[in-house]
Amino acid sequence: MNLKNCFRPAVLKMKGYTPGEQPKNLTTIKLNTNENPYPPSAEVLKAVREQADQRLRLYPEPTADTLRQRLSRVYKWPLEGILVGNGSDEILTLLFQATLEKGSLVQYPDITYSLYPVLAQIRDAKVKEVRLEDDWSLDFTKFSTQARLTLWGYPNAPIGNCFDKSKAAVFIRKAKGLVLIDEAYVDFSNENCLDLARKNPHVLVLRTMSKSFSLAGVRLGYVFGHPEVIAQLMKVKDSYNVNRMTQAVGSAALTPGGLAHMRKNIRRIRLDRNSLIEELRNLGFTVPDSQANFILATRRGKPVAESLYKNLKKKRILVRYFPHRRLRDSLRITVGTHAQNNRFLEELRRLL
């Protein structure tokens, strides 16, 4: 079979997105995919049980209005300005699909979430990557004001840092196209960018329940934006893109009890994050301050980062290693439970 007769050239050339490893052995300590180490709230688990009945034969709400109403109340955002997706990744796909055609300009930092380049390749878009400075900051003056779409993370993966909001605001006022601020990890941070979206109708803020709400398995994301922008994205989404169970779980997570549970877990993770950073710095790693539930630890010399990653894996401890030219000496480590972090540090000391 000649694949050239079947697929677009842009698809044939691309490598595709590489997700973090998902081990089958449940005793493996997973510090590689930025999942929350704590279980979801009792309200969420109750919602799962209650939904497991004959209603599963029925289609879900096509635009998840019940969930959107809950999101609207919690975040004080107009319902018409909220779109819910099958994970934030689906919303990113919808955004690229709705805004970019062959040759359209899309831009984002280098380094950032590795799905952005894949989505750009699928659309055969023109890409501008703005290199992060040596201190991992972003010079917004290097972005083009003419791009159809601009994206960055707040906090930005895989470093975990937040870019300067005042400098971002200056760029936003000049930008002609849409700007999406990806806040997948923002609940672990001290600030968010919803104020920038309130002041600028061409700004979108993307969120997910995968991280802070401990719901990576249900796939639920949502985006806040101007109602006119959201109306365009609604046109390209699947008819029933978020299933009935996920919608119920999302609503339960946003109840007072669900929110209190999430915030309690965030406090634990932030404390353990700061302790983990201190311990790694004591071991000779360079670790930027993080506002996420993960950290980037860099150490030059032997053993090299890739070797540490492989040897930790032999001990059933997974961390993330990226072959990117600026990350070859680094490991990205998700903050686990206190016990998981201690086990990781114990094995790491042996390897060093």
Place of tokens 């053993």: 303
Clarify whether residues 58 and 12 are in a common domain.
Answer: no
Distance CA 336, CA 22 (A): 15
pLDDT tier at 44, thresholds 50, 70, 90: very high
The amino acid sitting at 309 is Y
Clarify whether residues 317 and 222 are in a common domain.
Answer: no
Give the CATH number of the domain where residue 77 resides.
3.40.640.10
∠ CA 336-339-345, nearest 5°, is 80
Give the CATH number of the domain where residue 13 resides.
3.90.1150.10
Q: What's the pLDDT score for residue 173?
A: 98
Pairing between strand 178-182 and 149-153?
parallel
Clarify whether residues 81 and 117 are in a common domain.
Answer: yes
Average the pLDDT over each of 169-173, 207-211, 297-301 and give the range with the smallest value. Answer: 297-301
The number of folded domains in the chain is: 2
For the chain, give the mean pLDDT: 95
Asked whether the predicted pLDDT for residue 17 surpasses 90, the reply is: no
- Tokens representing residue 220 in the block: 């639920």
Asked whether the predicted pLDDT for residue 194 surpasses 80, the reply is: yes
| Number of CB atoms found within 10 A of residue 282's CB | 9
Clarify whether residues 245 and 276 are in a common domain.
Answer: no
Average the pLDDT over each of 15-29, 75-89, 238-252, 264-278 and give the range with the smallest value. Answer: 15-29
Q: How far is CA 103 from CA 92, 98, 222, 288, in A?
A: 18, 14, 28, 36
Asked whether the predicted pLDDT for residue 76 surpasses 90, the reply is: yes
Clarify whether residues 8 and 115 are in a common domain.
Answer: no
Which of 256, 285, 305 is the last residue before a domain boundary? 256
User: Is there a contact between 197 and 222 (Cβ–Cβ < 8 Å)?
Assistant: no
Which of 223, 256, 289 is the last residue before a domain boundary? 256
State which residues form the domain around 277.
3-39+258-351
Going by C-beta distance under 8 Å and a sequence separation of 6 or more, which residues neighbour residue 234? 63, 83
What is the per-residue burial (b if ≥16 Cβ within 10 Å, else e) of 235-255?
A: eebeeebbbbbbbbbbbbbbb
Which of 256, 284, 300 is the last residue before a domain boundary? 256
